[in-house]
Amino acid sequence: MDPSSLLKFDPIALKEMNSVSLLKRIDTKFLTTESKLLEVLPLLNNDYRILEIEDLRLMNYATLYFDTEDLKSYTEHHNGKAKRQKIRMRKYIDSDLCFIEIKEKQNSGMTNKTRCTIGDLEPILSEKSKEFIKKTTKKDLVLKPVLYNYFQRFTLVNTQRSERVTIDSCLNYKTNDATKALQNIVVIEVKQEKQNVQTPIYKALKANKIRTSSFSKYCIGVANLVEGIKANRFKELNLKINKLTN
């Protein structure tokens, strides 16, 4: 992703953006290519500001996902369970900040995210992290690190309403045994308190024939890199990804 394509947005500071943190929200995702994204961005310049931290607008992220030995989190998502959890550590590389996060998907479709500051990614869970997981999930889970994910992100904030848009590109995955890069793929995620399909981002995506797509970074990574795993639910999505990359 070329950072120069983001210069026409007015900036917003992290402190200002905290008012729309949206830790409880409705998430809607879209999948497209970098070239298609460049057609959409000019349509958003007047209605969104872009997060800027120390002159950076395009930022680097690293995520480490945890799951049980039998990959319960992955399996529940694969099997279509509406109420489910994901446990991860996310590092904001440029800011040198790191959190352990638990995302809970509710039957209503609402996503709740709870997080706690940690020093760095922990391939071996610290006692502090174990306690946070137990307190938040109310379960005594035995977890292992499963998947690393690296990507670049920029964040847009609606100037008129409580809405954030994250745009992720340069997705790379790594396990102990394999790596995979999703070339040219862009994941757009619209985060709102209540779904409103009349906002400028929805209108711009519709005008460019970019449709909603169920996409989990964790599940796609596991489906592609972990051998012997059931992955038929993600077959159609993988076909779409392969089509977009070619």
| Domain membership flag for residue 1 | no
Residue 220 in any domain: the answer is: yes
Tokens of 105: 């998907």
**Is residue 3 in some structural domain?**
no
Instruction: Name the maximum alpha-carbon separation found in the chain.
Output: 49
- Give the residue numbers spanning the domain of 78: 9-245
CATH of the domain at 188: 2.40.320.10
pLDDT for the residue numbered 20 = 62
In a domain? residue 4? no
Q: Given this model, what pLDDT does residue 137 score? A: 93
Q: Residue 26's pLDDT is what?
A: 87
225 domain residue, yes or no: yes
Instruction: Output the six-digit token pair for 159.
Output: 């100037």
Query: What is the domain count for the chain?
Result: 1
Asked whether residue 127 is assigned to any structural domain, the reply reads yes
Helices and strands, counts by H and E, the chain: 7, 11
166-to-51, 142, 186, 189 alpha-carbon distances in Å: 10, 31, 10, 5
Smallest CA-to-CA distance from 17 within 159, 206, 229 is with 159
The stretches in the chain having pLDDT less than 50 are: none
For residue 2, is it within any domain?
Answer: no
